[in-house]
C-alpha cells in the first residue's frame, strides 16, 4: 500500500506518493511570485484552486486510486497559516471520506529524511536552509530520539534574506537563484559577518547590502552578500561538525539548490574528511513526496493520530518532533 503526502507550507502546493521508501509520484504547482513576495491569503487561494488537480495528477502519475492509499501525510508546519490550512483540509477530507489514517508531518523533517533516504545516510549533521529557516541539527542519542539544534538563525531564514535583497535590487524573479545569477563575476565588498558560536544573524547583512546598492553595482553587492552569508553558514557548520564528530553532512531545503553553497560546503567536508550529501533540486524545493516519505515512516513505526488532533502549527519546531523510526 502507498502513502500520499500533501505539502502546502508556502508558495508550493505539492502532492507526492511513496511506497516502501520509493517515490512513485511527485506533482507540484508554484504560486507565481515574480516581484511581490508572498501574501498568505492570495497564496492559499491559489493552492485551494489547484488542490484537486495536483492530487489527482499524483495519483495518475503513480497509476493508483484512493483505494490504494494506506496513509495520508500533510505538512503541519512550520509555514504560513492560511497555506498550511489548505493542505490540512485537503488531507482530512480524503482521509475521513475514505477512512485512511492521517499523519501531521514537520516540513523540515521532510527535507532531511528525503535526503537521508536518497543516499542511505543514517546519522548526518544537517544544514537545513530554506526561506523561513536556517538550522544546523543532528539526531540526539538513541533514548530520546529527536533532532537537536546545534545552531540556527537568530532572526530571518537565509532564503527570506536573499528574496528580500532581490526585491530591493530589482532582480526578477525575486528569489535566491536569480541573486546567484546576478552575482556571477562580482568583486568582494566587505560586509557585516555575524556568527555567535553556531548561531548566526542575517538582518544586519541585508540592511548593509541594501544600502550598498546606492554606491555599488548590483553584481558586486549580490556577490558580496551571498559570499558573506554562505561563509557564515559554513563556519557554523564546520564548528558543529567538529563538536558532534559526525562523518556525514546533509545540506537540504530550498537554498540547498545553490551550487555555490554546495561548493563551499564541499571544501569544508574535504578538509574534515566528511562526506557531503545534497538531494536533487526537485527534492530540495518544497514537494509532497518528502511528506509522504515521512508519513510512511510514522505509520510503519506505529504512530497514530485522531483526526481532531491533526491541526497546523505555524511555528512547529523541528526539535519538538519525536523520531520513532
| Comparison of 135 and 299: residue with beta carbon closer to Fe ion | 135
- Name which of residues 162 to 191 contact Fe ion (CB under 5 A): none
| Comparison of 10 and 100: residue with beta carbon closer to Fe ion | 10
User: In whole angstroms, how close is the CB of 134 to Fe ion at the nearest point?
Assistant: 11
Q: Where are the alpha helices (DSSP H) in 245-276?
A: 259-271
- Name which of residues 120 to 149 contact Fe ion (CB under 5 A): 130
147-152 vs 134-139, strand pairing mode: antiparallel
Dihedral (C-alpha) 64, 66, 72, 76: value to the nearest 10 degrees? 100
Cα 199–204–210 angle (5° rounding)?
140
Position 228 contacts Fe ion (CB under 5 A)? no
Span interacting with Fe ion, options 57-65, 141-149, 185-193, 286-294, rule CB under 5 A: 286-294
Q: Report residue 43 as a C-alpha cell.
A: 497564496
In whole angstroms, give the CA distance from residue 235 to residue 250: 15
User: How many residues at the interface with Fe ion, by CB under 5 A?
Assistant: 2
Position 286 contacts Fe ion (CB under 5 A)? yes
The CA distances from residue 201 to 120, 154, 210, in Å, are: 32, 5, 16
What does residue 154 show for φ and ψ, rounded to 5 degrees?
-95, -5
User: In whole angstroms, how close is the CB of 126 to Fe ion at the nearest point?
Assistant: 13
Span interacting with Fe ion, options 92-100, 186-194, 219-227, 284-292, rule CB under 5 A: 284-292
Cα 306–311–312 angle (5° rounding)?
155
| Comparison of 132 and 186: residue with beta carbon closer to Fe ion | 132
Site string for Fe ion, 242-281 (x = CB under 5 A): ----------------------------------------
User: In whole angstroms, how close is the CB of 108 to Fe ion at the nearest point?
Assistant: 7
Binding site for Fe ion (CB under 5 A): 130, 286
Amino acid at each position: 500500500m502507498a502513502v500520499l503526502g500533501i505539502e502546502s507550507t508556502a508558495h508550493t502546493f505539492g502532492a507526492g506518493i511513496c511506497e516502501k521508501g520509493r517515490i512513485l509520484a511527485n506533482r507540484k504547482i508554484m504560486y507565481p511570485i515574480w516581484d511581490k513576495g508572498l501574501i498568505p491569503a492570495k497564496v492559499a487561494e491559489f493552492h485551494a484552486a489547484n488542490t484537486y488537480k495536483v492530487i489527482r495528477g499524483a495519483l495518475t502519475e503513480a497509476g493508483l486510486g484512493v483505494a490504494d492509499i494506506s496513509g495520508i501525510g500533510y505538512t503541519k508546519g512550520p509555514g504560513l497559516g492560511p497555506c498550511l490550512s489548505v493542505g490540512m483540509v485537503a488531507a482530512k477530507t480524503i482521509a475521513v471520506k475514505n477512512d485512511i489514517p492521517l499523519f501531521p508531518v514537520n516540513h523540515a523533517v521532510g527535507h532531511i529524511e528525503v535526503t537521508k533516504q536518497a543516499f542511505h545516510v543514517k546519522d548526518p549533521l544537517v544544514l537545513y536552509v530554506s526561506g523561513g529557516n536556517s538550522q544546523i541539527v543532528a539526531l540526539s542519542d538513541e533514548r530520546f530520539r529527536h533532532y537537536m539544534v546545534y545552531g540556527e538563525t537568530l532572526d530571518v531564514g537565509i532564503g527570506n534574506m536573499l528574496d528580500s535583497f532581490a526585491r530591493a535590487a530589482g532582480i526578477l524573479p525575486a528569489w535566491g537563484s536569480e541573486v546567484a545569477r546576478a552575482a556571477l563575476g562580482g568583486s568582494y565588498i566587505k560586509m557585516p559577518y555575524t556568527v555567535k558560536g553556531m548561531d548566526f544573524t542575517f538582518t544586519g547583512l541585508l540592511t548593509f547590502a541594501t544600502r550598498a546598492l546606492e554606491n555599488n553595482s548590483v553584481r558586486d553587492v549580490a556577490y558580496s552578500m551571498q559570499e558573506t552569508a554562505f561563509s557564515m553558514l559554513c563556519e557554523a557548520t564546520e564548528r558543529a561538525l567538529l563538536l558532534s564528530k559526525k562523518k556525514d553532512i546533509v545540506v537540504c531545503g530550498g537554498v540547498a539548490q545553490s551550487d555555490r553553497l554546495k561548493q563551499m560546503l564541499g571544501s569544508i567536508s574535504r578538509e574534515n574528511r566528511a562526506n557531503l550529501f545534497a538531494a536533487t533540486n526537485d527534492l530540495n524545493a518544497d514537494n509532497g513526496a518528502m511528506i509522504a516519505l515521512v508519513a510512511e515512516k510514522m505509520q510503519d513505526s506505529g504512530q497514530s493520530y485522531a483526526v481532531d488532533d491533526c491541526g497546523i502549527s505555524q511555528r512547529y519546531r523541528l526539535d519538538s518532533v519525536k523520531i520513532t523510526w
